[in-house]
Every structure is written in C-alpha cells, then in structure tokens.
C-alpha cells in the first residue's frame, strides 16, 4: 500500500517508535526488506539515494518499488528520495510517483538552505508529496555525501524552529552525533548521542525528527566479512540501545544503509567460500537476500515498529 509518511509518523510519535528507512539498490535488497516487514507486520520507507539511481537506473528502481507495493499490498510503503541535492532531482522524483522527498540543503548557509527547501516544499505540497529537510551536518561518507571528520555541525534547536517555520517541511533530519558510513567513531571512543539536544529540537519544531547515519555496524558481520577475506577494519557504529532511546525523544524515522550492506557482504563472502564450485548467481544473491530479511527484522525490533501496520 503506497502512502506518504504523514499518518505513520503521527502514530510513531504517539506510540514512541520509529519507522525504518532502508536504502535500496537492487531487486534482492527490496525483496529482503519487504519479506522482513511482512514477517514483522511493520510499515516501511524504501529510499533511494543518488548513488542508487546512478547504479540501477531511476526507472528500474521505481518499477521495482512499484512491484513491491503491488505484491506487499498490506504493508504501508513510502517511496522516498534520500539526500536530494537540488530542486531538479526532487522535482523529477515528485513527478514520477515518489510520495516523500528529502531536499538536503545542509551544505549551504542557513538562508540559502531555507530558500531551496521552501522551493521544494511549495512544489511538493501542491502535488500531495511530503518533504524532509536537513539542518546541521553529519560527518562521514555515504555515496555522494562526504563530510570530513571535524567539519560536522550539530543542529541548533532555536535555528531548527526558525527553519521549520520558514520552510514548512514535514520532517527534519537532525545532527545529534550520528555519522554516515561504517567508520562512525574511532575505536576506543564510546559513541554518544546528544539526546537532550534531540528533545529540545523536538519541542521547538513540533514535527517528526529523522536520524541519518544510524547503522550500528554490528561486529559479528564485520568479523564474518573479515574472516572470509574482507578488510572492514576499525569500524564502529551507533549502539542499538541509543537508537531505541532516540525513538523516545521525537525521532520517527531512522535511516539504515550500512548495516544492510554489511549483512549482504558477509552472506555473499561466506557462500562463495563454502561453495567455490558454484557459479549460479542466484545462490549467493539468494543468501544475500535472506541476510537482508534477517537484518530488517532485527532492526524493526530495535525501532519498535513490529505490529504497527
């Protein structure tokens, strides 16, 4: 069931849970996500990045997501553009059936971010599409989004209130200590999120908050990847307990990409190592799809969205 995030975010805020926003790149990822949501009876946000559009093609991805909406009709599904970099790409996605779009103006100065975001909001709202904006800057790397360590900027609650009032965004991505990629925090440093800041932002803006860069980089998958020849070393993510706590202070959407990549990579490496004679891609991609499903089911439990359809 294709929908916007408006109603499911309202329920999430009222009942203190969050919706998983999972990045999709191909058929197996979408199938794994949807099977996990069906098993857990959870709504879901399928989101597409600029990198995914370049890799798989915008039309291919859109058709795959449309297929998911047809097959899993009992699941509320949001089609979302992640990190839209300009008005043109946001307009294209709005015009081609996305129900939610993120315009990421965080690289600009405050006034320019407001102007760009409002332009997208005005266009989207006229067509019934909801908009996520971003204020603050996360460190790390995800596809084309690259911010060096030390160049991040936490979201200011007072500035967030002004931003929301002037743009009319429906949800707001905030920076409270998370970061993109698998190398979020130096090993030996305890990862911490600024929950007090999160509460202040939520009180100031009165709209759902979004947590980017929230994969936990589960070490069992890192260990498995490395044991089969990988080199994912010195990686550390956001503790899952912190993600659960974030759902209690205004966060209604949590982005998860890296953990899916790690789960899939571990499954593929293990399958190819254990069955070196195999050259049927369906075997190792099937193992990857199963790994996605298990990861999504696990994340749904962390977010508390099981049984919320």
Q: In this structure, what CATH number is given to the domain that contains residue 42?
A: 3.20.20.70
CA distance 152 to 156: 13
In a domain, 1, yes or no: no
- What pLDDT does 192 receive? 81
- What pLDDT does 291 receive? 98
Strands 139-142 and 145-147: antiparallel
**239 lies in which domain range?**
6-303
Residue with tokens 């971010």: 113
State the DSSP H helix or E strand holding residue 205, giving kind and residue range, or none if neither: helix 195-205
170 part of the active site: no
Query: Within 13 A of 212's CA, how many CA atoms are on the CB side?
Result: 29
- The strand pairing partners of 110, in sequence order, are none
> 230 with 262: CB under 8 angstroms?
no
DSSP state of 187: T
- What pLDDT does 43 receive? 98
CA distance 186 to 116: 34
- What pLDDT does 148 receive? 41
CA distance 123 to 45: 21
- What pLDDT does 159 receive? 96
CA distance 129 to 76: 15
What total of structural domains would you count in the chain? 1
Residues of the chain with pLDDT under 70: 139-152, 179-189
Please tell me the pTM assigned to this model.
0.91
In a domain, 308, yes or no: no
């Amino acid at each position: 069931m294709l929908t916007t995030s408006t109603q499911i975010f309202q329920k999430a805020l009222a009942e203190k849970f969050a919706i998983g926003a999972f990045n999709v790149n191909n058929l197996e990822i979408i199938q794994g996500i949807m099977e996990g949501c069906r098993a857990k009876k959870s709504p879901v946000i399928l989101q597409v990045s600029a990198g995914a559009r370049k890799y798989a093609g915008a039309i291919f991805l859109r058709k795959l997501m449309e297929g998911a909406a047809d097959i899993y009709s009992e699941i509320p599904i949001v089609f979302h553009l992640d990190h839209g970099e300009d008005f043109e790409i946001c307009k294209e996605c709005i015009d081609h059936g996305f129900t939610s779009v993120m315009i990421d103006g965080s690289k600009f100065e405050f006034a320019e971010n407001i102007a760009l975001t409002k332009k997208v909001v005005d266009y989207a709202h006229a067509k019934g599409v909801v908009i996520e904006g971003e204020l603050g800057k996360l460190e790390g790397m995800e596809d084309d989004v690259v911010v060096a360590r030390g160049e991040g900027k936490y979201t200011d609650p007072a500035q967030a209130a002004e931003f929301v009032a002037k743009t009319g965004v429906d949800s707001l991505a905030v920076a409270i200590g998370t970061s993109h990629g698998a190398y979020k925090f130096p090993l030996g440093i305890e990862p911490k999120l600024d929950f007090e800041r999160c509460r202040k932002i939520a009180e100031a803006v009165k709209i759902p908050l979004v947590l980017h860069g929230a994969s936990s980089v589960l070490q069992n998958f890192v260990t498995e990847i490395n044991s089969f020849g990988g080199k994912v070393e010195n990686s550390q993510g956001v503790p899952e307990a912190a993600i659960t706590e974030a759902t209690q202070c205004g966060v209604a959407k949590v982005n998860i990409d890296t953990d899916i990549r790690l789960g899939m990579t571990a499954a593929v490496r293990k399958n190819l190592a254990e069955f070196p004679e195999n050259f049927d891609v369906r075997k190792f991609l099937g193992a990857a799809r199963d790994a996605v499903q298990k990861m999504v089911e696990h994340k749904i439990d962390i977010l508390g969205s099981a049984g919320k359809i």
